[in-house]
């Protein structure tokens, strides 16, 4: 086995016992990137020189523990000190932050080795990574298909063996959807569980830092590092962080699982629906009590998300005007022309559409009819989840309505249909490999009440150990 194929926990064990060195691990990852990156296009910026220095420093230590020496990637909307952070937008091309995002800083403090910044849809607005201002990312299982979005670079890099895990963000389900398309694990923690400080904001009430990993154990190890209170984030939760590894390996006997009927209806492709039903039967075999339930207001989640996310984006992205941040048109005649021209040239069409919609929604004439009404429905969606979790420990559903689609083939409007409800409710949700359809991965989505990441990991690990989907890897012809 090549070192790049190791899991985080196995690599950590071998590094701690000095059976391998951090430099050897990085060399294996570097060779893998050289071999497949031209086909996958997961990265915007590579930082292998800095990574080599970090690995050398770690090998000089008396001991290596935890995540130290293990290469990772960071989605390009998380600030990295001294390394370009573009949000996949021409507007921020060349922007170098003077500080690290809190989650990035915690990984660095743990000894993680960052090998680069990962591609995404511009400012996280999109569901396929085709909206990147630089290039599309390809799915390792079939490079003619999308890797999902907006966290397609993160999911593709993990699936292709270019990194062991990746930090990413989830607004309407981007890291879960991308993980589903690429056959890896994607975790969106409870809103506020991981600090958003240093995450370039788009929809602040829904943006959440999470991660993509190859398996559930690796996910737990990384969560242990990045979760926790941060006084630099006003929405950060002060709840104690458990050792998430302690949730793994427990029986599911007596666990109550609900599957929302709305998530298995006509919009979901038949083969995906059947794969999820098979997964639910597996949970029954594992001792869980599985019942149908209902989240009646989830059918409104997608339009509610579109209205609220675009409203927040129009406000958050107003700062990118050529004056304070970003691309500046130096040929403009006056400041008004400069701001208009800079935004016109620096921002992509999908971002502009969201800004226009958000400005319309927040206007005095339409605020009550659209924004305020959407906020009320968001509350109803949250109350649906609250009622469900009075009876069930967690909910299980498909992550996406279909497997990964071909580049340019499908409108993305439905891509977040099954993921945005959890985002609106602020609850933890994750996608795990849950089946295969025509050689492409199917994602199984687990959702739980606030701060129930441990319960999700327990159920995800049990399913993982009873199946082999997480062991299947794409064969890349290079």
CATH number at 14 reads: 3.90.1300.10
Of residues 126, 169, 129, the one with CA closest to residue 152: 129
Cα 275 to Cα 467: distance, rounded to the nearest angstrom: 13
Q: For residue 331, is pLDDT > 80?
A: no
User: Which residues, in sequence order, are bridge partners of residue 80?
Assistant: 83
pLDDT at residue 471 tops 80: yes
Q: What is the pLDDT of residue 412?
A: 59
User: What's phi and psi for 436, nearest 5 deg?
Assistant: -135, 140
347 or 328, greater pLDDT: 347
Contacts of 464 (CB under 8 A, 6+ apart): 215, 216, 432, 433, 470
Note whether residue 450 is domain-resident.
no
Nearby residues of 17 by Cβ (< 8 Å), 6 or more positions away: none
Q: How far apart are CA 375 and CA 352, in angstroms?
A: 23
Mean pLDDT of the region 46-66: 97
Measured distance between the N- and C-terminal CA atoms of the chain, rounded to whole angstroms:
18
Query: What is the predicted pLDDT for the residue at 352?
Result: 96
Across the range 336-355, mean pLDDT stands at: 90
Strand segments (E) across 267-382: 289-293
Q: pLDDT over 90 for what percent of the chain?
A: 91
Confidence grade of residue 337 (pLDDT, cut at 50, 70, 90): confident
Report pLDDT for 411: 62
Residues 457, 446: Cα–Cα separation, whole Å: 9
Question: DSSP letter string over 418-452?
Answer: TTHHHHHHT--EEEEEEEEETTEEEEEEEE-STT-
In angstroms, rounded to a whole number, what is the distance separating the alpha carbons of residues 146 and 140?
A: 9
The answer to the question of residue 258 being in a domain is no
Q: Sign of the CA dihedral 54, 56, 57, 62?
A: positive
Mean of the per-residue pLDDT values for the chain?
Answer: 96
Residue 266 pLDDT? 72
Burial class (CB in 10 A: 0-12, 13-18, 19+), 436: middle
Task: Count CB neighbours of 72 within 10 A.
Answer: 28
pLDDT in tens, 222-274: 999 999 999 999 999 999 999 999 999 999 999 999 999 999 987 899 999 99
Distance CA 175, CA 206 (A): 13
Categorize the per-residue pLDDT at 325 as very low, low, confident or very high, splitting at 50, 70 and 90: confident
Task: For 189-209, write each residue's pLDDT tens digit.
Answer: 999 999 999 999 999 999 999
Determine, yes or no, domain membership for 24. yes
Q: What is the pLDDT of residue 414?
A: 73
∠103-249-210 over CA atoms, to 5°? 20
Question: What is the four-CA torsion angle of 37, 97, 104, 92, rounded to 10 degrees?
Answer: -40
Q: Does 126 reside within a domain?
A: yes
pLDDT value at position 341? 83
Q: Give the DSSP H or E segment for 217.
A: helix 216-226
Give the pLDDT band of residue 336 (cuts 50, 70, 90): confident
Q: How many of the other CB atoms lie within 10 Å of CB of 48?
A: 19
- Split at pLDDT 50, 70, 90, the class of 40 is very high
Angle formed at CA 296 by CA 292 and CA 300, multiple of 5 degrees: 135
Task: Quickly state the pLDDT bin for 155 (edges 50, 70, 90).
Answer: very high
pLDDT at 413 over 70: no
Distance, in Å, from the CA atom of 228 to the CA atom of 144, rounded to the nearest integer, reads: 39
Q: For residue range 82-93, what is the model confidence (pLDDT) as tens digits? A: 999 999 999 999
442 beta partners: 435
Say if 375 falls within a structural domain: no
Mean pLDDT (whole number) for 370-383: 99
Task: Identify whether 150 is preceded by a cis peptide bond (ω within 30 of 0).
Answer: yes
- For residue 361, pLDDT beyond 90: yes
Q: What is the DSSP letter of 121?
A: S
User: How far apart are alpha carbons 232 and 335 in whole angstroms?
Assistant: 33
Tell me, yes or no, whether 373 lies in a domain: no
Q: Quote the pLDDT of residue 478.
A: 63
Residue 221 φ/ψ, nearest 5 degrees: -65, -40
The domain total for the chain is 1
Residue 147 structural domain: 3-247
Residue 331 covered by a domain: no
> Residue 175's closest CA among 161, 194, 155?
155
- What whole-number distance in Å separates Cα of residue 416 and Cα of residue 336? 36
- Where is average pLDDT lowest: 143-157, 335-349, 402-416, 445-459? 402-416
Does some domain include residue 437?
no
Give all strands (DSSP E) within 348-439, no chain letters: 394-398, 429-437
| Across 158-163, average pLDDT | 99
* pLDDT tens-place string over residues 214-236: 999 999 999 999 999 999 999 99
């Amino acid at each position: 086995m090549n070192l790049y194929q190791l899991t985080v926990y196995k690599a950590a064990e071998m590094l701690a016992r000095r059976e391998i060195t951090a430099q050897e691990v990085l060399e294996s990852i570097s060779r893998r990137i050289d071999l497949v990156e031209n086909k996958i296009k997961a990265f915007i910026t590579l930082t292998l020189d800095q990574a080599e220095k970090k690995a050398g420093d770690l090998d000089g230590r008396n001991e290596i523990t935890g995540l130290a020496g293990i290469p990772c990637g960071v989605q390009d909307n998380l600030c990295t000190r001294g390394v370009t952070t573009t949000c996949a937008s021409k507007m921020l091309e060349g922007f170098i932050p003077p500080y690290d995002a809190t989650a990035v800083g915690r990984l660095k403090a743990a000894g993680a080795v960052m090998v680069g910044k990962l591609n995404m849809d511009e400012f996280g607005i999109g569901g396929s990574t085709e909206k990147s201002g630089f290039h599309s990312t390809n799915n390792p299982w079939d490079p003619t298909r999308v890797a999902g979005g907006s966290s397609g670079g993160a999911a593709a890099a993990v699936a292709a063996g270019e990194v062991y895990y990746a930090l990413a963000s989830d607004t309407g389900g981007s890291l879960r959807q991308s993980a589903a398309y690429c056959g890896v694990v994607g975790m969106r923690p409870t809103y506020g569980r991981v600090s958003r400080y240093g995450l370039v904001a788009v929809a602040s009430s829904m943006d959440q830092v999470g991660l993509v990993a190859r398996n559930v154990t690796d996910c737990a190890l990384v969560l242990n590092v990045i979760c926790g209170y941060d006084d630099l984030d006003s929405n950060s939760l002060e709840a104690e962080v458990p050792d998430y590894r302690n949730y793994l390996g427990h029986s599911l006997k007596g666990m109550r699982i609900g599957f929302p009927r709305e998530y298995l209806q006509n919009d979901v492709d038949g083969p995906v629906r059947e794969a999820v039903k098979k997964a639910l039967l597996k949970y029954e075999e594992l001792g869980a009590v599985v019942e149908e339930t209902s989240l009646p207001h989830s059918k409104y989640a997608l339009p509610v998300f579109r209205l609220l996310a675009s409203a927040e984006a129009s406000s958050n992205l107003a700062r990118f005007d050529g004056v304070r941040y970003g691309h500046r048109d130096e040929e403009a005649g006056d400041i008004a022309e400069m701001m208009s021209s800079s935004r016109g040239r620096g921002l992509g069409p999908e971002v502009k559409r969201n800004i226009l919609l958000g400005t319309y929604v927040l206007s005095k004439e339409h605020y009550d009819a659209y924004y305020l009404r959407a906020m009320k429905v968001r509350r109803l969606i949250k109350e649906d989840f609250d009622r469900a979790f009075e009876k069930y420990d967690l909910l299980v559903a498909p992550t996406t309505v279909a497997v990964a689609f071909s580049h340019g083939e499908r409108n993305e409007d439905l891509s977040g249909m099954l993921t945005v409800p959890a985002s609106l409710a602020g609850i933890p949700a994750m996608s795990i490999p849950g089946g295969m359809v025509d050689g492409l991965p199917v994602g199984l989505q687990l959702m739980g009440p606030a701060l129930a990441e441990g319960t999700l990991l327990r159920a995800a690990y049990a399913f993982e150990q009873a199946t082999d989907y997480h062991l299947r890897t794409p064969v890349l012809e290079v």
